Amino acid sequence: MEKKTPLYETHVALGGKMVPFAGYLLPVQYGAGVIGEHMAVRQKCGLFDVSHMGEFVLEGEGAEDFLNLVLTNDFCGMEDGQARYSPMCNENGGVVDDLIVYKEKDGRYMIVVNASNRAKDFAFMNRYLGESEKLTDISDQVAQLALQGPAAETVLRKLTAEDQIPQKYYHAVFDGQIEGITCVISRTGYTGEDGFELYCHAQDASRLWELVMKAGEEEGILPCGLGARDTLRLEAGMPLYGHELSDDISPREAGLGIFVKFKTKENFVGRKAMEEAGTPRRKRVGLKVTGRGIIREEAPIFAEGRQIGVSTSGTHCPYLGYPAAMALIEKEYAEPGTRVTAQVRGREVEAEVVKLPFYKRA
Amino acid sequence: MNFPEELKYTDSHEWVKMLDEQTALIGLTEYAQSELGDLVFVNLPEVDTELSAGEAMADVESVKAVSDVYSPVTGRVEEINEELLDHPEFINETPYDSWLVKAADIADTVNLLTAQEYEALVAKE
């Protein structure tokens, strides 16, 4: 039985088409449809319920050391309110999850993880937790709304004071106030646009949703579902756990090597295995479909008459107007311009390797 | 939701418009398009392809997924609606004008439903 987010009734009242996802009932789309919602986020703004995401609080003197051990990125030198993305690897160098760490202040962090990995991550982190640190899963008390799009800041300005709005990307205001609702106001997102993620108490979620929707009316805000969330992140070339990342895919293969700090850190989980594996033999690439068809996940990819990899996600990109996919392929074929074919339902669909992301905001 | 009286329907959500005893237009119902969402791609069979009642003859893709379209008839593809190849969204906009295939030499059909029967089926889904 799927759980409901605090906004379930709101979605149903708005005509959201509810589907099970990562253990929750969430809207895949509303009346405007995936394409309409996608375009709203690219051109105006959209509001997503992402309350299914998991949130942990990490406290204690050794918190920074713990993060540096269990995650591949380097967490030294963070300012209060700063956020940092990181893969979390297992001892084999595969990805347990990818997540965002917020530093509230020295010795106190919030970690945001994928809904489907929440229990796995919590257990995994606990294996490395020292005496002086405490990890608490607060997911059930927290709702998350994502306000995304070029008009997001204009909308937020109507609801809160200037100093409550983080000016830099990957920064957050921890004790933010929006019309009396306490929330973390974070300048982050998963759409390739400017935007904010708002973390509030579950009981405030529906009021915060109403406030943002009302404030966004003039800007043409639309409620957006999981469908648009997926097409937006794909167009922006962002990896999704379970597709581009898994327990068997290393961050270096997934093109996330920049978040693996071999040089600045001595030791972290997965380091040895990644070093032993050496330069990855396969690489995550973007594929632009040049033939007819849509390459979706798990399509075998061929070049020079043999299979060189497999697609990990793919769809029609509403803003770009053509189908695109991401794939893990042998690195010899990863050069942009390389022609490949995908096998899709018994047919061959031609595609070309292109640089990621497919879409980058101006 | 619209269920034109003059059409016949299948339980897999195609509509059939019999032009004469052996010729028919085949499309997707309004209910089908609303369930599929925005269509972005259509694959149609080639002209003269043999059709078997109840078997996949085409597919349509939304941003979310690909879905088969089943032939309600046994016969032959006489014509395809090529306009849909460039404008799959016409199926969303005007499902009952946007026929996919014109079938000829119809020798057999699946169990076809009347508008009332089909409406009752949709009500249950």
Whether residue A28 lies within 8 A of chain B, CB to CB, comes out as yes
Does pLDDT of A242 surpass 90? Answer: yes
A197: confidence class by pLDDT, cuts 50, 70, 90: very high
State the architecture of A3-50+140-235 in CATH terms.
Answer: 2-Layer Sandwich (3.30)
Query: Which chain A residues contact residue B61 at CB under 8 A?
Result: 294, 316
Nearest to A293 among B41, B62, B64 (CB): B41
Beta-carbon contacts of A127 under 8 Å, excluding residues fewer than 6 positions away, are none
Domain boundaries for CATH 3.30.1360.120 within chain A: 3-50+140-235
B120 located within any domain: no
The CATH number of residue B94's host domain is 2.40.50.100
Q: How far apart are CA B27 and CA B8, in angstroms?
A: 11
Our CA-based measurement puts residue A322 at a distance from the nearest CA of chain B, in whole angstroms, of 9
Does pLDDT of A354 surpass 90? Answer: yes
Beta-carbon contacts of B6 under 8 Å, excluding residues fewer than 6 positions away, are B17
Does pLDDT of A226 surpass 90? Answer: yes
B64: confidence class by pLDDT, cuts 50, 70, 90: confident
What does the DSSP assignment read for A219-279? GT-EEE-HHHHHHHHHHTT---BTTTB-TTS-TTTTT-GGG--TTT-S--TTHHHHHHH-S
Query: Which chain B residues contact residue A292 at CB under 8 A?
Result: 41, 43
For residue A204, the model assigns a pLDDT of 98
A13: confidence class by pLDDT, cuts 50, 70, 90: very high
Our CA-based measurement puts residue B18 at a distance from the nearest CA of chain A, in whole angstroms, of 30
- Average pLDDT, stretch A224-248? 97
Inspect the interface and report whether the beta carbons of A227 and B41 lie closer than 8 Å: no
Inspect the interface and report whether the beta carbons of A345 and B59 lie closer than 8 Å: yes
Nearest 5°: phi and psi at A212? -70, -40
Inspect the interface and report whether the beta carbons of A35 and B43 lie closer than 8 Å: no
Q: How far apart are CA A307 and CA A291, in angstroms?
A: 18
Does pLDDT of B26 surpass 90? Answer: yes
Domain containing B36: what range? 14-108
Using DSSP, state whether A48 is helix, strand or coil.
strand
Interface list for B 51-70 with A (CB within 8 A): 59, 61-66
Does pLDDT of B5 surpass 90? Answer: yes
Does pLDDT of A43 surpass 90? Answer: yes
Beta-carbon contacts of A219 under 8 Å, excluding residues fewer than 6 positions away, are A44, A45, A151, A154, A155
Does pLDDT of B65 surpass 90? Answer: no
For the sheet with B39-43, list strands across it: B39-43, B56-62, B66-70
Question: Are the C-beta atoms of A64 and A84 separated by less than 8 Å?
Answer: no
Nearest to B63 among A293, A316, A345 (CB): A316
Nearest to A29 among B37, B41, B59 (CB): B37
B4 located within any domain: no
Tens digits of residue pLDDT in A283-337: 999 999 999 999 999 999 999 999 999 999 999 999 999 999 999 999 999 999 9
For residue B12, the model assigns a pLDDT of 96
Please give the tally of structural domains in chain B.
Answer: 1
Does pLDDT of B63 surpass 90? Answer: no
Q: How far apart are CA B95 and CA B89, in angstroms?
A: 9
For residue A271, the model assigns a pLDDT of 97
- Give the nearest chain A residue to B86 (CA atoms): A292
Whether residue B82 lies within 8 A of chain A, CB to CB, comes out as no
Does pLDDT of B69 surpass 90? Answer: yes
B116 located within any domain: no
Mean pLDDT of chain B, nearest integer: 96
Class level of CATH domain A281-354: mainly beta
For residue A229, the model assigns a pLDDT of 98
Whether residue A345 lies within 8 A of chain B, CB to CB, comes out as yes
Does pLDDT of A265 surpass 90? Answer: yes
A107: confidence class by pLDDT, cuts 50, 70, 90: very high
What element of type H or E holds A213?
helix A205-216
For residue A219, the model assigns a pLDDT of 97
Per-residue buried b or exposed e for B14-42, using 16+ beta carbons within 10 Å of the residue's own CB: bbbbbeeeebbbbbbbbbbbeebbbbbbb
- Give the nearest chain B residue to A313 (CA atoms): B64
Tens digits of residue pLDDT in A146-178: 999 999 999 999 999 999 999 999 999 999 999
Inspect the interface and report whether the beta carbons of A315 and B66 lie closer than 8 Å: no
Angle at A119 between CA A114 and CA A122, to 5 degrees: 90
Tens digits of residue pLDDT in B76-124: 999 999 999 999 999 999 999 999 999 999 999 999 999 999 999 999 9
For residue A1, the model assigns a pLDDT of 83
For residue B52, the model assigns a pLDDT of 97
Interface test with B, best of A17, A34, A349 (most B CBs within 10 A): A34
What does the DSSP assignment read for chain B? ----TT-EE-TTSEEEEEEETTEEEEEE-HHHHHHH-SEEEEE-PPTT-EE-TTSEEEEEEESS-EEEEE-SEEEEEEEE-THHHH-THHHHH-TTT---EEEEEEEEE--PBPHHHHHHHHHH-
Q: Quick one: CA dihedral A133, A137, A138, A139, positive or negative?
A: positive
